[in-house]
Amino acid sequence: MINKILLKLREEMGISQEIAAKALNVSRSALGYYERGERQPDASFIIKAADFFGVTADYLLGRSDYRSVENQAIANKFELPLSDKAISFLKSVPPELQPTLDLLVADQNFENFLLELVKNSTRQKALQLVNQERNRQDEKWGEQNHPPQYWTGILGEEFGEYCQAVNETVFDNGAEARKKGGYDNMMKELTQVAAVAVGAMEALMRQRIREQISERKKIKEIENYLATTGRKDEIK
């Protein structure tokens, strides 16, 4: 996780790896290792990098979505799921408009509006990710019509991988283990769990449709038999 954040911050500053390495008092090759995730930096480097890029150590480690302690405090104060960019925007509002903004933010209807907006946008994004994963699975394996007990095994395996990603995110089990954790890995595994669940639902619905068609065919065969034998009165 830290490797991606390091790379993003350096690219945002528009500086070369060489310049960043010099400022952070490490070799260019060492910074390259950190950015590629091939090595994990020590505590002293993390502190230097946080100061240099103007972020908190928690943000650098992927433990916080907010780059500064101030932004984290603002999010906690209003108890709203505002992004780091949204809070930075609120802080950039001209002083003469600040009283109006304060009234707006304090209004319960505005809070409900923001919460509803966030809920809808995150749900749409989640559904989009799941749909993309379902399409990828279809392209790779085609239509899957496994029995329910088979799907249970697949779901169990996928959920186990999600649990592993959570475990490696919450607990520090070493550099190699950390590569399997973090927000991106948790989202990836959870998306696969949801996509497999949808696949199981689709298979179950197809099975039910086939059963209904089969039942209808049997009924039709019985009706035809009774009709040809002159026993139409037995048809219900």
Max intra-chain CA distance, the chain: 98
Q: How far apart are CA 226 and CA 84, in angstroms?
A: 73
pLDDT by residue, tens only, the chain of 236 residues? 688 889 889 998 899 999 999 999 999 999 999 888 888 888 899 999 999 998 888 888 887 778 887 777 777 766 656 677 777 776 676 777 767 766 666 666 766 766 666 666 677 788 888 999 999 998 898 888 999 999 999 999 999 999 988 888 877 666 665 666 677 888 899 999 999 999 999 999 999 898 888 888 887 887 776 777 766 555 55
Predicted local confidence at residue 156, as pLDDT: 93
Phi (first) and psi of residue 133, to 5 degrees: -70, -40
How do the domains of the chain map onto residue ranges? 2-109, 113-234
CATH superfamily, domain 2-109, is lambda repressor-like DNA-binding domains (1.10.260.40)
Task: Give the predicted TM-score (pTM) of the model.
Answer: 0.48
Length of the chain measured in residues = 236
Predicted local confidence at residue 114, as pLDDT: 65
